[in-house]
Amino acid sequence: MGVKGEMQMSLISSNGQEVFREKVQAETGRNTWRFSQKNPLPVGTYVLVITGNKSRVSKKLYKS
């Protein structure tokens, strides 16, 4: 995204349910984020949505 500031990251399942949400602080340049959750995600297709600073990016993810 190339923006600095607070970002919201959401993970949406293929049936439209938000299964995870977290606010993170992003810095200019490359940022790394590790997804961790107590219960493992089921196999399937998900959409990762990152919003903040008037920007929005979504990427399709596959969990096998």
Q: Kindly list the domain boundaries of the chain, sorted by start residue.
A: 5-30+42-63
Other CB atoms within a 10 A radius of the CB of residue 38 amount to 4
pLDDT given at position 32: 86
The C-alpha atoms of residue 43 and residue 32 are separated, in whole angstroms, by 23
Average pLDDT over residues 14-31: 91
Mean pLDDT over the full length of the chain: 89
For residue 1, pLDDT beyond 60: no
Which token pair is 52? 């903040």
Query: What order of strands is seen across the sheet that includes strand 18-26?
Result: 18-26, 5-13, 44-52, 55-63
pLDDT given at position 29: 83
pLDDT given at position 45: 97
The C-alpha atoms of residue 51 and residue 55 are separated, in whole angstroms, by 6
